[in-house]
Amino acid sequence: MSIIKLINISHWYSENRVLDNLNLEIEKNKITYILGSSGSGKTTILRLIAGLEVPDKGEIYIQNLKASVANKIIVAPGKRQLGYIFQDLALWPHLTVYENIAFGLKNMNKSEVEGEVKGILSLFGLNGSLQKFPHQLSGGQQQMVAIARALALKPKILLMDEPLASLDVKSKRKILDYIVSIKEKYNLTIVYVTHDHLEAFAIADNIVVINEGKIQESGTAVEIKNSTNDFVKYFIEW
Amino acid sequence: MIISHNKSISSNLLYTIVLLPVLLLLVLPVLNIVVLTFFGTNFPESIASINRDLFLLLLKSLAVSGIVALISTFIGIVLGFSLYKSDIKYRNVFRLLILIPLFISPYILAVAWKDISVLIFDYNTSIFEKTYSFFGMILVHSTIYSPLSILIIGSALSNISKQMEESALLMGSFKDMFFKILLPLIRPSIITSFVLILIFSISEFSVPAFLGFRVFTTEIFTQFSAFYNHNLAMLQSLLLIFICVILLVSERKRISDSVFLSIGTRGREVKLYSSKKIVVFSYIILSFAVVFTVFIPVSILVYQSFKTGTSKFMEAIFLLLPTIGNSVLLAVIGSIISVFIGFVAAYYSEILNKKLMNMMLLVLFAIPSTIFGIALIKFYNNSLLNFIYSSFGILIIGYVGKYSFISAKLIGNSIKQMPKSMEEAAVIQWIGFFKRIQKIVIPLVLPAIFASFIINFLFCFGDLGTSIMVYPPGTEIMPIKVFTIMANATESLTSSMALIVFLVTILLVSLLFFIFKKIIAKYNVNY
Amino acid sequence: MKRTSIIILLFTIMLAISCEQNSNSIVVYTTVDQVFSEPVLKEFEKKTGIKVKAVYDTEETKSTGILNRLIAEKDNPQCDVFWSGDPLRTAVLKNKNILYPYTSKAAKGIDNVFKDKDNFWTGFSARARVLIYNKKLLKDNDVPQSVFDLTDEKYKAKVAIANPLFGTTTFHLAALFSVIGDERAKSFLENLKANDLVIASSNGDVKRRVVKGEVYCGLTDTDDANEAIKEGANIGVVFLDQKGIGSLIMPNTVSLIKKAKISDNAKKLFDYLLSEDTEIALAKSCAQMPLHNGVKLPDGVLSLDNIKPMNIDYNKTAGKLESIQEYLKAWVERK
């Protein structure tokens, strides 16, 4: 069953068409990898799903609700029940780890917020860093805070824009394992954008390969590996 | 591409709430006077008197101010590097000292420098006198405006990530790195500095008037004050405004694409050069600048104030004391409003692509003070708006109209450098517009907000051109009192007053610095 | 929210200040330097209990603020009384239909030469145009005694006058034009220019240059000369052309501004400024010469009795100005 549907989506940045009549469905409770080289339009897909950009053409459905249509946002980003991990993580540098996570929590009293934040941070082993500022953390810890912040609002969908690119293999592996376990625990649908096909093959349920704004191939890791599409073959050669 | 989430009701509301008063209270008076000019009875005569000579004069002014802008920007690069990139001690002391020429009125600096040059050179021929006015103008203007350039370029220099420079240093010499990496990286700030100083210099009037150097502003002034020909003066001012607007718009175009810094989440380290050569060079050049732009003029003032004892200084204190409270209060209110309007204009222009308010502030900024004063009188001086015109409100309106653009500019540069994701991360979490602005955007651009507050404060506190046209009868504000008393007062009284203004300003600025430092420290951000 | 409350607080304070209106008050604009005009106005306040709200300006900035302000405010005048340092600015306002005629009884003792024939202004305390010279640089017998001496080769590049487009210098030249005729006056100015005359930014600047020895001598007003002497400068003062055309005498003037209702207070101040008291005060503070006959003067203050005045019609001279202004502008701008 698909939780996100992109129908006939086209999108331009000034003169450049970044997405070209794209149709895409994301399955519920699966990890879907969107794979492509830089400039292929993969980040734009995430931003469209999140509602941070308005599509120039087409429609977007989220949980069977019409969320965006051409030039119009129907469901505001904050109402789409999704979390977003930005490429630069976007941790607010002037807020502590605690404040970063507590920031989005609404309709709770102080002790409830505290319980919530501490609960999430202990999941990631970050309880000792509550009062630290982002720049006082290691790269891996910063990723964890970003993920914890996104999960604090209990989203149904987690959008991840290549957040692990700058990490060493070991930390990366550790966080990916976390992601898989979190997905199970929270019944999450994860859309993950990267150019790293090995990472995708390792944990993706579904993979979508995209190039120049068009889907080249989609399927499971095995299907992608056996694809006959020239671009896909070229892309995963490395 | 306009970001969708910001099309919220609250964001439109804020824009409208700020835009309306800006339009009604600030822009409308100017439109009114422009219309009056074009429909004035002597408009045909005025337009006929705009001839080749006038354009040549405009070119001359542009050329002279261009030279001033070039020199100041060059000084800005050299001193900016010494101040912000070399590993020197007492950096903060130097930073404050270097800014001092900004606190002293151009007129007083011109007088001080003339006295100095008479001591050094001696006038023997009139030829010297004639060339002197040209060099004098360039010298005094460059002295006044260099600190601005140092500020602009210095902040750009301290925002370059260490790696950029280090990777270049690994591949080549310091010279290569400096010219091929550092300078191109700060190019936007170099352009901004050049254009802003060009505009400041071309609209400044007191220095060329004092030195007897004929430029476009003195021509406008002559039309005003010798011929009382408002129509022609206004028309000539429109030419000047037009030039300034073109300059500012082209500057915007040039720098709009370049992102020259981002407030990173991982903290930012500034590369400081500690090689002996650079540090020694920095000390020498900074000390020279301090002696030349601060120590010499201020000592002249001190000498002139006290050469006949302390009585004149006491008299000056007695004269100025009743004005300080008013002036500080008005300048503080003026700068708070300017910063607020500047922030809104900058935010909407940079993030939401609504550039109207920013453009309006830019035009207001480019209008010569006297013209702006006349515009305010023509608009506010009637029975309906008399309550504003006869109160301090009119001065606040004058300050805000004249100087909000400075805030919009400085804060805009800072917002431009804030990663978009900072706000988007909050949007995803369904954080409302006002909370986002209050808790995310404002803290992140806080240093720019404070900097523009201080600079705005300095401009409001020292404003003369517009204030003298509109200050309510029977009230006293400092710059006007200094100016009206200065004319026939003894040299020691004049110098004493200049000195007091200078001391009060430096005291207030230090106080503001201190307060802001505390607040910023509270946020504990590695900006 | 803290910020909002601070703003509201400040606004309230501002409003409170601006609401402090005093009905028994009067608005005066003056181009006479604040150091000299303020004590006179304060004395008036003390004597009458009428609050004087003043807008000051200075000749140093060519009185731009006040004159342009009065012109711009024409449709809804704020000002009641205009006190000018010279009759010329007043004539500009008269031409622009901004003044209201008034004949004061206090002006009885003042010669009619110093009054507008249509009563738009009345003169009082006068200054004179003088030559000041640096005693160190000029020996007694080298000191010029006539304005026409200034074209002499021996003063080449060593004479200063203020920019004649502004201030009392305009008046001086306009008077010269009307006394000796356009042709002679123009050739005199051309000769001055040929003699590398220094054009200073203001009378104050002329004074400064003479005191500092940049030039031998310069033309300025008695009050500037007086100020320099008070400061202990080593200068001498000469009333020029005492054997010829005489020295220019420039009275202060007072006028009422035309508005819907001319207040009695305005007339009171008008009368007060024309009183002997004011003239004595100004004689003491800035060496202005009283125009009332027989005012008792303190020692050392100049009196009109000992000076041969230039014989001019102040109204006509003001008119003269307009016809020569373009010429003067070109003359100044020529290198």
- A–B CB contacts, 8 A cutoff, strictly below: 100
Indicate if B296 and B357 belong to the same structural domain. no
Burial of B356 (0-12, 13-18, 19+ CB in 10 A): middle
ipTM: 0.85
Which domains, from first to last, does chain C contain? 22-126+251-303 (3.40.190.10), 128-248+320-333 (3.40.190.10)
Matching residue, tokens 């151009």: B106
Q: Are strands A72-73 and A65-69 parallel, antiparallel or unpaired?
A: antiparallel
**b/e code B361-389 from CB counts within 10 Å (16+ = b):** bbbbbbbbbbbbbbbbbbbbbeeebeebb
Residue B446 located in a structural domain? yes
Residue B298 located in a structural domain? yes
Indicate if B421 and B384 belong to the same structural domain. yes
Q: What backbone torsions phi and psi does residue A50 show, to the nearest 5 degrees? A: -70, -20
Q: What is the DSSP letter of A86?
A: -
Taking contacts as CB-CB distances below 8 angstroms, the residues of chain B near C72 are 230, 374, 377-378, 381, 469
Q: What is the pTM of this model?
A: 0.84
3-state secondary structure B422-468: HHHHHHHCCCCHHHHHHHHHHHHCHHHHHHHHHHHHHHHHHCCCCHH
Q: Report the distance separating Cα C149 and Cα B69, nearest Å.
A: 44
Indicate if B399 and B280 belong to the same structural domain. no
Residue B258 predicted with pLDDT over 60: no
Which pLDDT band holds residue B8 (cuts at 50, 70, 90)? low
Residue B480 located in a structural domain? yes
Residue B121 located in a structural domain? yes
CATH number at residue B487: 1.10.3720.10
Residue B348 located in a structural domain? yes
Tell if the CB–CB gap between A104 and B429 is shorter than 8 Å: yes
Alpha-helical (H) ranges within B85-179 are 91-99, 106-120, 126-157, 162-171, 174-176
3-state secondary structure B221-276: HHHHHCCCCHHHHHHHHHHHHHHHHHHHHHHHHHHHCCCCCCCCCCCCCCCCECCH
Residue B478 located in a structural domain? yes
Residue B127 predicted with pLDDT over 60: no
Q: What percent of chain B has pLDDT over 90?
A: 20
Q: Report the distance separating Cα A88 and Cα A163, nearest Å.
A: 7
Residues written for chain C:
335
Q: Which of A41-50, B255-264, B353-362, C56-65 has the lowest mean pLDDT?
A: B255-264
Q: What is the pLDDT at residue A238?
A: 57
Indicate if B287 and B369 belong to the same structural domain. no
Tell if the CB–CB gap between B444 and A93 is shorter than 8 Å: yes
Residue B394 located in a structural domain? yes
State which residues form the domain around B276. 67-215+272-304
A78 vs B: CB within 8 A: yes
Question: Which position has the higher pLDDT, C42 or B262?
Answer: C42
Indicate if B281 and B379 belong to the same structural domain. no
Which pLDDT band holds residue B474 (cuts at 50, 70, 90)? confident
The number of folded domains in chain B is 2
Residue B50 located in a structural domain? no
Alpha-helical (H) ranges within chain A are 42-50, 97-102, 110-123, 139-151, 169-186, 197-203, 221-225, 230-236
Which pLDDT band holds residue A50 (cuts at 50, 70, 90)? very high
> Residue C329 belongs to what H/E stretch?
helix C314-333
Angstroms from B445 CA to nearest CA on chain A: 11
Indicate if B175 and B194 belong to the same structural domain. yes
Taking contacts as CB-CB distances below 8 angstroms, the residues of chain C near B387 are 18
Q: What pLDDT, in 10s, does the model give residues B77-119?
A: 999 999 988 888 888 788 888 888 877 777 777 777 777 776 6
Instruction: Tell me the sheet residues that pair with C30.
Output: C56, C83
Indicate if B206 and B136 belong to the same structural domain. yes
Which pLDDT band holds residue A196 (cuts at 50, 70, 90)? confident
Indicate if B199 and B132 belong to the same structural domain. yes
Q: What is the pLDDT at residue C334?
A: 79
Q: What is the pLDDT at residue B7?
A: 54
Residue B190 predicted with pLDDT over 80: yes
* Chosen domain end from B256, B285, B304: B304
Residue B163 predicted with pLDDT over 80: no
Tell if the CB–CB gap between B430 and A142 is shorter than 8 Å: no
Indicate if B412 and B488 belong to the same structural domain. yes
Q: What is the pLDDT at residue B124?
A: 47
User: C and A: touch, per 3+ CB pairs < 8 A?
Assistant: no
Indicate if B79 and B188 belong to the same structural domain. yes
The answer to whether residues B474 and C51 touch, using CB atoms and an 8 Å cutoff, is yes
The pLDDT mean for chain B works out to 83
Indicate if B93 and B151 belong to the same structural domain. yes
CA atoms within 13 A on the CB side of B515: 10
User: For every one of its 335 residues, what pLDDT tens digit does chain C have, with 9 covering 90 and above?
Assistant: 555 666 666 666 655 555 444 568 999 999 888 888 999 999 999 999 999 999 987 666 656 678 888 988 998 899 999 999 888 888 889 988 999 999 998 888 888 889 998 999 999 999 999 999 999 999 988 999 999 999 999 999 899 999 888 888 988 999 999 999 999 999 999 999 999 898 888 888 899 889 988 899 999 998 888 888 888 889 999 999 999 999 999 999 999 999 888 889 999 999 999 999 999 999 888 888 999 887 777 776 777 888 899 988 888 887 888 888 889 989 988 76
**Residue of chain C minimizing CA distance to B312:** C231
Residue B1 predicted with pLDDT over 50: no
The answer to whether residues B223 and B54 touch, using CB atoms and an 8 Å cutoff, is no
Of C14, C224, C230, the CB nearest to B393: C14
Q: What is the pLDDT at residue B180?
A: 85
Which pLDDT band holds residue B194 (cuts at 50, 70, 90)? very high
Indicate if B300 and B323 belong to the same structural domain. no
Angstroms from B512 CA to nearest CA on chain C: 16
Tell if the CB–CB gap between C14 and B333 is shorter than 8 Å: yes
Please state, as a whole number, how many other Cβ atoms lie within 10 Å of the Cβ of residue B241: 22
Q: What is the pLDDT at residue B130?
A: 60
Query: Cα–Cα–Cα angle for B505, B508, B510, nearest 5°?
Result: 105
